Structure 1
């Protein structure tokens, strides 16, 4: 059936009105934007979801427990031979642990950075710490409680700041970590004393004056020696210098998300953009030629 001229005019007018009013969707569907590159993604995915990571961490705490028992029997053993004074064999035993990514799992914070497209900032980190949502690393509570049951003082030397010490203490206590008897400060934070900066050597030395330090556990080279602040070649030399400690009285927890291993690759120049840092990291890789 053919439409008369009046009907045609009415149809055209109706279509125009619908376009103006937005009743007709003329938007062409577009593909969802791809996630932006983020160096934290695979590391955080592995730490949160892989059984390999959980097993790796438990392996380390299991080995540390074996070495702890041996060190309790052998009074000459110490994890800080350069800091212990003559007669240290008669001192009460202690162990020193870092907190973040050693006994406290902060992968929720890393996941937050990934999902919001942000980089680390002291503002968001402080808010996260104050929320007291960090979880315990697999086997960490059991290991520290075992050490305490053997009469070993458990010290936590962390670069969380003094302002966050109370929140950290409450978070750790709620998770079941031994936090001392109230007479000894066992949670030693950055800035708690004016001389306590990022380097941990002075805090370790203070403990070594009063205790025989049996073991040290951390996720970063700087948790064991202040020589961690060197360049890549210097760090490699220091690693080899302390070879006898690894797996005996120094235990490193895996942390592929962040640490001095990453910052040393771009010269600790945090003014560089994420893309520039990534390029610096690529530049130091030892690559197959492809031939």
Structure 2
């Protein structure tokens, strides 16, 4: 992913107005007829951003992650078996000069097999940083603050559910696991320690771990992907946003609506589930700059009903 650290998590959730829903108790087949409706407890607002509740508390999130990684392992093992049988297999990294609307893929030839993983909120959950976000009012992104996290938070992370077993399956098939992250190269030792401490194995900087500042300056991952693909047959990639597969998805010139359309419809996205494996991350990403006018068309806005005699808001 093109990282925007977890303390930007609540911004998107804050755009959605909370609707107070009143419930009423009914009866079935006359049972309980004449009883007063059960009291409805007032909804209590949870101060933790909903995005973090999803990442850390949702069984659905864990299940989707496990299923995604299991499907990825099945895909990779099957592809490597086809290669062993003499079949030609395409790289999951887009060919040079390919575009999202006209994607092309190079054949792998005899290069050794590999897979590429984003790190933050794909391979690992930044549990310590996300706790900090949840308890400090979701402060805006602060580069110095995130640097302190990279430098000192290696033992405060968790593996994404299901990934360790999927990595074991792929490694057993002879596939090299490579991590491609926008963590800073100056904290390479700490990034490797976080991956290792999460039970995901060893990552060696410049070999199986690539970071911001490696190969080329900036946050774009295409140069690093190209360097990895020059050495390996990249059978699959995993990330939590589409920039983990191609930088063109993160074109800052695109409006929120235009990027949404591009992500949803560009032909390159047909690789999802077939070499590209995408996780849901509601906490941060290139989509989180949207405002109300970006998200909600003027002709699709519901004016909340006002009780008789109540002043309109």
TM-score normalized by the length of structure 2: 0.69
Task: Describe the superposition over 1:60-89 as per-residue Cα deviations: whole angstroms up to 9, x where unpaired.
Answer: 111111111221123323212515997622
1:172–1:52 distance in 2 versus 1, CA, 3 Å? same
* Partner residue, 2:71: 63
- RMSD of aligned C-alpha atoms? 2.4
Task: Tell me the distance in 1 between the aligned counterparts of 2:94 and 2:211.
Answer: 23
Name the SS for the 1:176 alignment partner: coil
Q: Which has the higher helix share?
A: 1
CA–CA separation in structure 1 for the residues paired with 2:218 and 2:172: 31
Mean CA deviation greater in 81-90 or 133-142: 81-90
Tell me, yes or no, if structure 1 residue 145 matches structure 2 residue 168: yes
The correspondence for 1:253, drawn from 243, 260, 279, is 279
In the alignment, the residues of structure 1 paired with residue 183 and residue 144 of structure 2 have an alpha-carbon distance, to the nearest angstrom, of 13
* Counterpart Cα distance in 2 of 1:225 and 1:209: 16
Give unpaired runs (5+ residues) of structure 2.
1-8, 14-48, 84-88, 97-103, 304-313
User: What's the offset of the Cα at 1:192?
Assistant: 3.0
Q: CA deviation at 1:110?
A: 2.5
- Find the aligned partners of 1:70 and 1:196 in 2 and give their Cα distance: 36
Report the Cα distance in structure 2 between the residues aligned to 1:163 and 1:126, rounded to whole angstroms. Answer: 10
* C-alpha displacement of 1:167: 0.7
The yes-or-no answer on 1:82 pairing with 2:103 is no
Q: 1:144 to 1:286 in 2, by over 3 A?
A: same
- Partner residue of 1:72 out of 67, 80, 88: 80
How far did residue 131 of structure 1 move?
2.5
Deviation at 1:107, TM superposition (A): 4.0
**1:170–1:42 distance in 2 versus 1, CA, 3 Å:** same
Distance 1:86 1:67, change over 3 A: closer
Larger Rg over CA atoms? 1
SS of 1:214's equivalent? strand
Cα distance in 1 between the residues matched to 2:134 and 2:205: 41
Native 8 Å contact 1:154 1:179 kept in 2: no
Normalising by structure 1, we get a TM-score of 0.74
Match of 2:218 among 165, 184, 197: 197
User: 1-side partners of 2:125 and 2:211: how far apart?
Assistant: 17
Q: Which residue number corresponds to residue 236 of structure 1? A: 261
Q: 1:38 to 1:89 in 2, by over 3 A?
A: closer
- The alignment covers a number of residue pairs equal to 237
**Alignment match of 1:120 (pick from 123, 141, 154):** 141
Is 1:171 the counterpart of 2:194? The answer is: yes
Question: Which residue matches 1:98?
Answer: 118
Matched, 1:160 2:178: no
Q: CA deviation at 1:109?
A: 1.3
Q: For residue 143 of structure 1, report the CA deviation from its aligned partner.
A: 1.5
Residue segments in structure 1 that go unaligned for 5+ positions in a row: 1-36, 266-280
State the 1:237 CA deviation.
2.6
Question: What does the per-residue CA deviation read over 1:164-220, in whole Å, with 9 as the maximum and x for residues that have no partner?
Answer: 21111112112222325x696211010134x14200001001111111110010002
| Distance in 2, Cα, partners of 1:113 & 1:134 | 14
Task: List structure 1 segments (4+ residues) > 4 angstroms apart after TM superposition.
Answer: 83-87
Q: Alpha-carbon deviations, 1:86-112, whole Å to 9, x = none?
A: 762211101011000101101431331
Offset of 1:126 from its aligned partner? 2.0
